[in-house]
């Protein structure tokens, strides 16, 4: 499934390292269940992965690693309402993590009760909390662009370039349909 915002690259490297660090806090048998869920995901069996997560002890059902894994599974299934529930719980459990805010906005954008405006409003407070996280500015640029607020989209995109790796962000932006209205400008940067 293509991911329009840069959540997937954010998960692929730095967030996964943080995720593994949180998994280490779990102990057997819950740790084994999380690992089994990851294995099922790797095999493409998302229902089996969710079944493993349902067997985690009640005290660890809201562990950030469990919630993040549940969120990933639900977005892969395009079950946006369930993804939003997982992301809302993750944000409550780990508000100190930029990924919690990003996951919440990402799911909120697509959930039945969400949309672009709600996702944008939910992610904006994260700018102050994580001023050096380029993915936040980048996604806000995507939201603004899709809402035809191109001046604000430009400002947030420039902020993402300023705090992130300019070349990587530019490459991602030129492949992101959300930012298509700005592609000509981005090519000239």
Give the tens place of pLDDT for each residue, 53-91. 999 999 999 999 999 999 999 999 999 999 999 999 999
Calpha distance 48→50 (Å, rounded): 5
Is 122 domain-assigned?
no
DSSP label at residue 96: T
Domain that holds residue 173: 131-189
Residues 100 and 142 in one domain: no
pLDDT band at 2 (very low <50, low <70, confident <90, very high): very low
Which CATH number fits the domain that encloses residue 29? 1.25.40
Spatial CA neighbour of 104 closest among 2, 7, 33, 4 = 7
Q: What is the pLDDT of residue 102?
A: 98
Q: CB of 156 within 8 A of CB of 138?
A: yes
CB 122, CB 104: distance < 8 Å: yes
Q: Kindly state whether residues 88 and 160 are assigned to the same domain.
A: no
Residues 53 and 86 in one domain: yes
Q: Are residues 15 and 92 both part of a single domain? A: yes
Q: Are residues 5 and 79 in the same domain?
A: yes
In this structure, the answer to whether residues 104 and 77 fall within a common structural domain is yes
The 10s digit of each residue's pLDDT in 5-47 is 333 333 333 344 444 444 348 999 999 999 999 999 999 999 9
Do 138 and 53 reside in the same domain of the chain? no
Beta-carbon contacts of 150 under 8 Å, excluding residues fewer than 6 positions away, are: 144, 181, 182
Same domain assignment for residues 5 and 86? yes
> Rounded to whole angstroms, how far apart are CA atoms 52 and 20?
17
User: Does residue 83 lie in a domain region?
Assistant: yes
Predicted model pTM: 0.86
Decide which of 115, 143, 169 is a domain's last residue. 115
Residues 6+ apart with CB under 8 A from 142: 4, 5, 153, 176, 178, 179
Assigned domain for 144 exists: yes
Residue 14 sits in the same domain as residue 97: yes
């Amino acid at each position: 499934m293509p991911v329009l915002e840069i959540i997937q690259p954010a998960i692929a490297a730095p967030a996964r390292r943080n995720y593994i660090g949180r998994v280490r806090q779990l102990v057997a048998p819950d740790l084994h269940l999380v690992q089994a869920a990851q294995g099922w995901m790797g095999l493409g069996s998302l229902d089996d992965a969710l079944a493993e997560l349902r067997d985690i002890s009640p005290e660890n059902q809201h562990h950030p690693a469990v919630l993040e894994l549940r969120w990933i599974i639900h977005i892969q299934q395009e079950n946006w309402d369930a993804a939003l529930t997982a992301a809302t719980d993750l944000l409550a459990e780990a508000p100190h993590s930029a990924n919690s805010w990003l996951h919440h906005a990402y799911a909120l954008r697509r959930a039945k009760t969400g949309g672009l405006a709600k996702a944008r409003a939910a992610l904006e407070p994260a700018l102050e909390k994580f001023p050096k996280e380029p993915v936040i500015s980048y996604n806000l640029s995507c939201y603004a662009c899709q809402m035809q607020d191109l001046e604000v989209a430009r400002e947030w995109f420039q902020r993402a370039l300023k705090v992130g790796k300019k070349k990587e962000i530019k490459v991602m932006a030129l492949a992101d349909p959300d930012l298509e209205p700005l592609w000509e400008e981005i090519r000239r940067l």
